[in-house]
Structure 1
Amino acid sequence: MYDYIVVGSGSGGSVVASRLTEDPKTQVCLLEAGGPDKSILIHAPIGVAAILPRKMYNWAFETVPQPGLKGRKGYQPRGKTLGGSSSINAMLYVRGHPGDYDDWAALGNPGWSYRDVLPYFKRAENNERGADDYHGTGGPLNVADLRANMPISDVFMDAAMQVQMPTNRDFNGPVQEGLGAYQVTQKNGERWSAAKGYLTPNLKRPNLHVMTGAQASKILMEGRKATGITYVKDGKTAEVRAAKEVILAGGAFASPQLLMLSGIGPAMELKKHGIEVLHELPGVGQNLQDHIDYIVAYKSNSRETMGISLGGGLDLIAGIFEWRKRRTGMISSPIAERGGFLKTDPSLERPDIQLHFVIGPLDDHARKTLLGHGYSCHVCVLRPKSRGHVELNSADPLAPPLIDPNFLAEQEDVDTLVRGVKITQKIFDAPAFDAYRGKPLYPVDMASDAAIIDAIRSRADTVYHPVGTCKMGTDPLAVVDPSLKVHGIEGLRIADASIMPTVIGGNTNAPTIMIGEKAADMIRAAG
């Protein structure tokens, strides 16, 4: 018996478990389906290139075939280890646009405006640049400037300025628009995941009980009250009980899946799999949003880019020695070193695309081995209009969920991405790249919108930001209220990216950590 059970140790769950156990009288059990986060591939930033394409600390989900992507199945890597996806992401520290949170408040969620959530971002943060009106110091999440700087990243910035793109030193400051260097969740050149910041320093707390390799299979209920969790560990089923609350933090796929496995969700979906309907909640699994993304990539003969070659191998060996000695250099690279936020239409109130400039020739989530060197750039739609859903594949709790992002179902998303691809190509065509530019990995006639759309539908996919499947609000499809309590169920909250009513305009790790901070405050206030 514990006071609280937290399901999932990702960007939300690590925060909640850590903050609640600051009170030595509060007993918390944290369940994580994955294993410990001890691998050097997690802590050495560039190790993400090895983790991303494989089932290694990674659920490596697939979507259902996507009509908007010519029937292709999308790929959805999610973290399967302490720290969740914050242990396998690109470490970019981005909060989104202030207007994104004002939108949440306007949708009937008081307490979630930018003014309301900024203190939680600052509380979480230890920004090595120092504190100011927008940033905090002393928090568990270390935020740092890059300790790697591949020369090609500066070429990207030179090219951006040559074509009159705005620049920005701080995407989380007073203005989001512009291109520049990303800050990263690193410390001394190592990944600083939610687990590293919130759990690792506190694992010796006698009131924090972390269980890895334990996959939650059902929420235990007494009437309409959540009282515990059934989980599977080493092939055996066991239970833990919560005297006060159960907090789900499995993310946009696992949290709705667990609710439905437990009889909470759309009645027809539950009955289809022979699951007794304990509480009909039609919005569970609905409202899935994700950033659709297209990559423009070029080959290059320059070793100032990253790639697979004899010379590149020698550079990598030298980089390993540098990282071991000084924790600097290419091994500390997040791979996406530059980028930012742009408007595809100057009349827009806020940026509608994000760029991630990558120091190597990335293709298909690094699942295709590309010989030689090159560079590439992601361009994603920040506020897609398309909506998808998550359902059950079966009543088996160990089966993956059915994921349908419904990518590019709305023409507006297609149009925005076409404009974004053209902007990216304009940067790549700038004189700064003349000495580096080889052949495009996938040639496209940029004078033809039809050709660009065909390329997008042939190769676009996620940039790893699924949200919204247990959305916060008070409308009929809302799953949690503004205090993150599941509607109609006592003793059950959700504290992860699934509660976002709309996807924020940026990377989702920092906002989910903020959600964890705010959730912990609300849980403590409720006693």
Structure 2
Amino acid sequence: MEAPIIPTRSIARAYDYIVVGAGSGGCAVARRLVDNSDASVLLLEAGPACIGIAEIDDPARWVPLGRGTYDWGYDYAPTGRINDRTIGIPRGKVLGGSSSINAMMWYRGHPMDYDAWAASGAEGWSFNEVLPYFKRCEDWEAGETALRGAGGPLRIERSRAPHPVADAMLGGCAELGIPVIDDPNGPSNEGAALANLNICGNERWSSARGYIWPILDNERLTILTDALALDLGIEHGRCTSVRFTHGGQYHDVRATTGIVLALGAINTPKLLTLSGIGDPLDLARLGIDIKAALPGVGKNLQDHPLVQACVFRATRPLGAVRDNGGGTVINWKSSQSLPQADLHAFPVQGNSAEARIRELYDLSGDVFSIGCGLMRSKSRGYMRVLSSAPDGAIEIQPNYLAEQSDLDALVVAVETMMELAATQSYADWFGGYAAPPRRLSRAEIIDYVRNACSTFFHVVGTCAMGNDDAAVVDSRLRVRGIEGLVIADASVMPTIPTCHTHAPVTMIGERAADFLLGAA
């Protein structure tokens, strides 16, 4: 597809809707508002448009994007549990948000994830209730089924020719007794499978590409990139406007019907706090007048911990990178007593070790890696605004490994990866252990996990949905105590699902549009 151009339109004094943030949720809600109503929509994105940029479009080149030009540059604060390391937390600052810089993985997790949301107070968010919205997102290569969608904005394909170290994962899992399944978004997600990828042919298929490119010429849609939201205007308990910078100027634009925040689980609670919506103690500390007292803003932060990585010597050069550098995945249980898979792993066609691991071990020569992590993590942290300035500092703390059960499960993950690489299926490629350099004792694995712990960059939960005192939004995504303001991003998730978060955030954006238009 030829790269389009975003039309230049003058900034009106008011729009029916303002959507702040053009990531997975924001693109979805903006598209559906334009498609299914006669409303005018202003879509604000803090980053550049970057349409037709080779390093974004090429699936094999995604890794450096995470700490590059199109990233917000955020870090997780260090703790002793991760041996006092600072962990980078990539977040897309570009049209399409993190869907434009991520690994292009498409998973919705397990039905129990969403049934747990409903049970916790998010009424109407059980799996059977959200499944139609997942299907609406999808253009699945194998066509529509009871569980998959076709003809939706987001193309989803599997590798046509997986790399041998990815293909070996399937055979190796079978040797270990882990089932090989056709589709991890099918009837069961437990097992090894070819990855579902937001790739069409050999190009990234981001939310911007799928949702926004087809409606760029619609005169009711105005897109402003490099537009940084500063705060929200609140009048008599209603959110009425957004103040932002664009083109070196300040703008204050009104919304006559509603404002949608889709800045993600870091920037949405930050913007709320700067606008006087948040924990009264935080607002008092910052000297910000209280517009709505919501103690849950910035709390309940969750992310999947990733052991990055187990690295193995290769018997020969791996050749050109295929797909997104992976190609297959495993979902399995750390204990057979669990009701659903809690561990996840994927191959990497090269060295993907954390900086500390690279310092500690000799990883020279030809190597391949397997990243493994925990998808049912229990540890929770927070996001705290440290300054009332729009570009002021924030503290982001996931509290990785705070729960002993998280650490115990990651020990099992590393042990399994060491066994997997030594299976017969990897015999043609496995040339020995590099990091860890040998099979380790439990105590040694724990230390390895603390040094290798990184992030899947699946940060969620900081404006959680529910019906208790800690909830920030209700089950229709409306911010409590403020009219005309909804949230459509990962911050509303009460608990983190067992998957990459791009799919559920897109689903949330689809539902938000239906709520706004009275279609649900």
TM-score by length of 1: 0.92
Shift of 1:49: 2.4
Q: Is the 8 A contact 2:334 2:413 kept in 1?
A: yes
Distance in 2 between the 1:108 and 1:269 partners? 25
User: 1:474 maps to what in 2?
Assistant: 467
Pick aligned residue for 2:455 from 439, 459, 462: 462
Residue 46 (structure 1) aligned with residue 60 (structure 2) = yes
Q: Is the 8 A contact 1:17 1:28 kept in 2?
A: yes
SS in 2 for 1:91: coil
Distance in 1 between the 2:289 and 2:112 partners? 41
Residue 429 (structure 1) aligned with residue 429 (structure 2) = no
Residue 59 (structure 1) aligned with residue 111 (structure 2) = no
Q: Is the 8 A contact 2:357 2:451 kept in 1?
A: no
Amino acid at match of 2:411: V
User: 1:36 maps to what in 2?
Assistant: 49
User: 1:393 maps to what in 2?
Assistant: 386
- Equivalent residue runs for 1:52-451 within 5 Å: 52=66, 54-294=67-307, 295-303=309-317, 305=318, 312=319, 315=320, 330=321, 333-364=323-354, 372-443=365-436, 446-451=439-444
Q: Is the 8 A contact 2:488 2:512 kept in 1?
A: yes
Shift of 1:456: 0.7
Offset from partner CA, 1:484-504 (integer Å, 9 cap, x none):
000111000000011000000
Shift of 1:81: 0.5
Shift of 1:298: 1.4
Shift of 1:385: 1.1
Shift of 1:164: 2.1
Q: Is the 8 A contact 1:273 1:394 kept in 2?
A: yes
Cα distance change on mapping 1:476 and 1:94 into 2, 3 Å: same
Residue 15 (structure 1) aligned with residue 8 (structure 2) = no
Cα distance change on mapping 1:500 and 1:168 into 2, 3 Å: same
Q: Is the 8 A contact 2:169 2:192 kept in 1?
A: no
Shift of 1:108: 1.3
Which moved further from structure 2: 410-419 or 352-361? 352-361
Shift of 1:301: 3.7
Distance in 2 between the 1:367 and 1:419 partners? 19
Offset from partner CA, 1:446-496 (integer Å, 9 cap, x none):
341110001111121111111000000011110000000001110000000
Offset from partner CA, 1:300-345 (integer Å, 9 cap, x none):
2422x2xxxxxx5xx4xxxxxxxxxxxxxx46x1112111210111
SS in 2 for 1:441: strand
Shift of 1:23: 4.0
Amino acid at match of 1:481: D
SS in 1 for 2:62: helix
Cα distance change on mapping 1:445 and 1:298 into 2, 3 Å: closer
Amino acid at match of 2:68: K
Q: Is the 8 A contact 1:445 1:451 kept in 2?
A: no
Amino acid at match of 2:456: V
Cα distance change on mapping 1:365 and 1:116 into 2, 3 Å: farther
Distance in 1 between the 2:27 and 2:416 partners? 38
Q: Is the 8 A contact 2:239 2:484 kept in 1?
A: yes
Which moved further from structure 2: 271-280 or 131-140? 271-280
Distance in 1 between the 2:41 and 2:123 partners? 28
Distance in 2 between the 1:463 and 1:400 partners? 23
User: 1:321 maps to what in 2?
Assistant: none
Cα RMSD, aligned residues only: 1.8
Shift of 1:79: 0.5
Shift of 1:157: 1.9
Q: Is the 8 A contact 2:313 2:432 kept in 1?
A: yes
Shift of 1:366: 12
Shift of 1:432: 2.6
SS in 1 for 2:132: helix
Distance in 2 between the 1:391 and 1:184 partners? 33
Residue 453 (structure 1) aligned with residue 446 (structure 2) = yes
Amino acid at match of 1:452: I
Distance in 1 between the 2:383 and 2:98 partners? 18
Distance in 2 between the 1:35 and 1:219 partners? 22
Distance in 1 between the 2:393 and 2:367 partners? 35
Q: Is the 8 A contact 1:16 1:519 kept in 2?
A: yes
Amino acid at match of 1:338: T
Distance in 2 between the 1:254 and 1:386 partners? 21
Cα distance change on mapping 1:365 and 1:457 into 2, 3 Å: closer
Q: Is the 8 A contact 2:436 2:448 kept in 1?
A: no
Q: Is the 8 A contact 2:193 2:330 kept in 1?
A: yes
Which moved further from structure 2: 431-440 or 98-107? 431-440
Distance in 2 between the 1:47 and 1:429 partners? 29
Q: Is the 8 A contact 2:311 2:436 kept in 1?
A: no
Distance in 1 between the 2:154 and 2:356 partners? 28
Offset from partner CA, 1:47-90 (integer Å, 9 cap, x none):
202312x3221112111122320111111001110100001111
Which moved further from structure 2: 397-406 or 78-87? 397-406
Shift of 1:257: 0.4
Amino acid at match of 2:508: I
Amino acid at match of 1:48: W
Distance in 2 between the 1:275 and 1:255 partners? 17
SS in 1 for 2:130: helix
Q: Is the 8 A contact 2:356 2:452 kept in 1?
A: no
Which moved further from structure 2: 150-159 or 133-142? 150-159
Q: Is the 8 A contact 1:60 1:76 kept in 2?
A: yes
User: 2:5 maps to what in 1?
Assistant: none
SS in 1 for 2:209: helix
Shift of 1:401: 2.7
Unaligned runs of 5+ in 1: 306-311, 316-329
Offset from partner CA, 1:349-374 (integer Å, 9 cap, x none):
10010111112221228997975322
Residue 6 (structure 1) aligned with residue 19 (structure 2) = yes
Q: Among the aligned pairs, what percent are the same residue?
A: 40
Unaligned runs of 5+ in 2: 1-13
Cα distance change on mapping 1:444 and 1:407 into 2, 3 Å: farther
Cα distance change on mapping 1:274 and 1:410 into 2, 3 Å: same
Shift of 1:287: 0.2
Pick aligned residue for 1:489 from 482, 487, 494: 482
Shift of 1:419: 1.0
SS in 1 for 2:401: coil
